[in-house]
Structures are given as structure tokens and as C-alpha cells.
Amino acid sequence: MTSSRPAPPIARLGLIGLAWLSIAGAAIYDFGLYVQNILAYPYNVGVSEWWGSELAIRYCAGFVRRGLLGQTSWLLTQLVDQQSAYVAALAALMAASVLVLGFIFYRSLRIKLALLPSLLILSAPTAMPVMLTHAGSLFRKDAFQLCLFALILFLVHHFDVASSARRKTFLYGLAAVVQVAAVFNHEPFALLITPALFLARLLSRKGYLKSFLLVMPSVAAFLLAVLNKGRLEDVNCLQASLRSVQLLPLNARPGSSITELALTKPSFFTWDLSLGQLGWSLLHGFLAVCITWACYVLILRQISHRVLPSRKAGSFLFSQILIALPLFMATIDYGRWFAMLACAGMLSLLSIPKNEVASAQQISLADLEKFGMANHWPLVILAVAALVVIPSHCCTYQSSHIFASVSYAGLSIWKHILLS
């Protein structure tokens, strides 16, 4: 019988030191930019921008996609005669949602993993840091949607352990309501977030039919939202509404999220990018996949020791990307979308009870020596990634922007420290 040979003490200490250095650097960088974005409020949350105008969408001329949260806020602020505050109130809610999501994420990680890998996954530059460091994500619905997803996972867990049919029906109905609300709030929820729950159910041996029935409300709501994008009349009504509460100057145009409601297709297409932008997008996509795969591997190892985590992690991530591919082809928000996909995948995997993962090829005793050092590679990937690269909100920048854009490269903070 051969035994696993751990990494040499010096190499292990070096990895631990690199990991803690990466975590410290990521924390300084991420929360520094978070505070900077908060202090810049409200100048970077105007309705002439993407994130401000998206929050302003509501049902002033009838049902339209992405308008549920804006309509709800509008009705609530009418009660206190402060209609002009509804976009600002929603922006504050979105910024607070990032912190709530961080707490949920960290707590879920610590239940399954040790402190060091938990903090490395939390610092993974394809997930939480995107929402913390870019105002375009911080003041949009991304983190709020993931908080709703965490609520769905909580309800699903109690649905699984419920003993009575009446309680199961109640919990299923409640989870369905949250799913529909999340899709009507921002329809990419159905392509970026819901599939993670479906795939996690399959991984937990729940079966295709039961897994699909659980996410069916999201699918139905998504189809309804797609069929009701909006008309030019909706855009005109929103413009007049924003001007009436002094959120849009007379000569200003509304943000692209509002005008997009009247379009029959998305505003941007991957094939409209320049070759340089497309090349960098593919490079950043490759890095994002590698980093997220490493996170999935570390999580899956804690769920079951009977499977090859790398294969399960790769299959899970590949399936997520395949389902979301139409969205990635129709927009330039690669970094932002991928962060939502990665966070949803990790939250779903963390929700799987230990030893419930479907069986796969077992690791034989003869393979233990080979897998001894290989167990450290996900940690190495995450440590290096958190130290030197933070993918952007939109991964379409030219090479000259890599060290210049604060919202892009984690390496830029080290450049400023060393040269100042």
C-alpha cells in the first residue's frame, strides 16, 4: 500500500504565505474600491448611466421586463411623497446587498471548508470582487439577485427535509414566487443563476424531472419576460416619469437600459467587437474558467471524497456556460455575467449535503501518490489569481488598459505601491 506524500514543508509554507499575501492584497484592493465607489455616490448612479436607468424601469405603461423592483420602490416612495428618491433608495439597497451576499457566501464556505481556502474562494477574482470593485456592478441588481438565490436555496433545503406534503407544497410555492420575482427583476437570472440549482440537484441524484420541476417557475417567467420586452411607448412614458420627479433633465437622454426596452434584439453582439477586443475577451474568459474551476474543485472535495472533484467541477462549470452561452453571445458584460454565474455555482455546490454527490470514478490506492501534490494546485491557482489579476466588469479592454484601469487589474495596486 502506498501512502499519500504531502508537499514538502518549505513548499507548503511558501504556498500558505503566498495565499495570505494574496488574501490581504485582495481585501485592501476590493474594499478600497468599494469605499471609493460609495463615496462617489450619487455622481456615478445617475439615470443617464446603465446602472441608474436599469433601477428606474417600472410599469408606468404596462408590464415590461426588469420593472418589478422599480415599480415596487416607486409605489413605496409614493406613500411618503418622495417619488424622486426611489432610484437612490434602490441604489443603496444594491450596494448593501453586496455586503449581505459576502456574509452569506463566507458563512456557507466556513461550514464546509477551512479558513484559508474559504478566504481564497471569497477573494476569487471572478466572483465577489467584481461586484465590490466596479460601480457598474455595485449599483446594479447582481448581488441582490444572488441574495434572492440564497433565499431560494434555503427554501429548497427545508423543502427536502420537510416531512408533510402540506409543508412541502408551501415551501415549493414560496420558492416559486421568489424565482418569478427574481426573473421579473432581471431576466438573466434564468440563464446565469437558476441553472446552478438544476445542476446541483442532478449532482445530488434528484433526477431530471424533479430537478426541472423545481426550476420550472424561472423558465416560465423567463419566457414571459422575453415576450414582453417593451415598446417605444414604454420608453417615452419612463422618460416623462423621470422628468416629472426631476431625475432626468429636459435635454438629457435616458440610460441605455431604458431605451433597450424598445428594441427587438440586444444592443451589442460579440461579432461586432474588434479582433483585439475579442482576443482579450477570450483570454480573460479562459482565466475566469480556470479560476472558477479551482473554486469548484475545493468545494467538491469537501462534499465527497469518493469522486474525482476535478472532473465533476469541470462538467458542472461547462454545463453552466453552455446554458448561458446565448447571453454571453449577445452582450459585452462578460465579467459581470461570469461573476453571477460563478457565485451561483459555488452557492449551489455549498448547499449540497456531504456525501450526496452522484458516484463517479473512484481514486485507487495506487493513485494516491499522484494526487498528493495535485491537491494543492487549486490553492496555487487561487493564490496567484487573487494577487495579480482581477477581471473587469466588461472583459473587452485593449492591452494598454491592463495596468491603467483601476477597475481591471489587481496588479495595478502593487505597481502603485512599488513606484510611489
Q: What grid cell was written down for 115? A: 479558513
Asked if residues 264 and 227 have their Cβ atoms less than 8 Å apart, the reply is no
Q: 234 or 219, which is more confident?
A: 219
Helix (H, G, I), strand (E, B) or coil at 400: helix
Q: Using pLDDT thresholds of 50, 70 and 90, give the confidence band for residue 137.
A: confident
Average pLDDT, the chain: 78
Kindly state the average pLDDT of the residues 71-78: 84
Structure-model confidence comparison of residues 304 and 125, the more confident one: 125
Q: Concatenated DSSP letters for 393-410?
A: SS----GGGTTT-TTT-T
Q: Which of 54-63, 149-158, 326-335 has the highest mean pLDDT?
A: 149-158
> DSSP label at 305?
S
User: Is 22 within 8 Å of 294 (Cβ atoms)?
Assistant: no
Name residues whose C-beta falls within 8 Å of residue 26's C-beta, 6 or more positions apart in sequence.
123, 125, 129, 386, 387, 390, 410
For the cut 70, the answer to whether the pLDDT of residue 369 exceeds it is no
Q: What is the pLDDT of residues 197-210, one digit of tens each?
A: 999 999 888 889 99
- Please check whether residue 265 is in contact with residue 276, taking contact to mean a CB–CB distance below 8 angstroms: no
**Residue 340: is its pLDDT beyond 50?**
yes
pLDDT band at 367 (very low <50, low <70, confident <90, very high): very low
Cα–Cα distance, 45 to 55 (Å, whole number): 10
User: What was the pLDDT predicted at 51?
Assistant: 62
C-alpha cell at position 82 = 418622495
> Interhelix angle for 165-185 vs 142-161, to 10°?
170
Q: What is the pLDDT of residues 254-270, one digit of tens each?
A: 776 777 776 555 544 44
Residue 101: pLDDT over 90: yes
Average pLDDT over residues 69-95: 81
Query: In whole angstroms, what is the distance from residue 345 CA to residue 72 CA?
Result: 29
Distance in angstroms between the alpha carbons of the first and the last residue of the chain: 56
- pLDDT single digits (tens) 388-402: 665 544 443 333 333
362 secondary structure, DSSP code: P
Q: Which of 49, 75, 47 is nearest to 60 (CA)?
A: 75
Residue 20 amino acid letter = W
Q: Quick one: pLDDT band at residue 326, thresholds 50, 70, 90?
A: confident
Output the pLDDT for position 315.
93
Q: Is there a contact between 196 and 347 (Cβ–Cβ < 8 Å)?
A: yes
276 or 7: which carries more pLDDT confidence?
A: 276
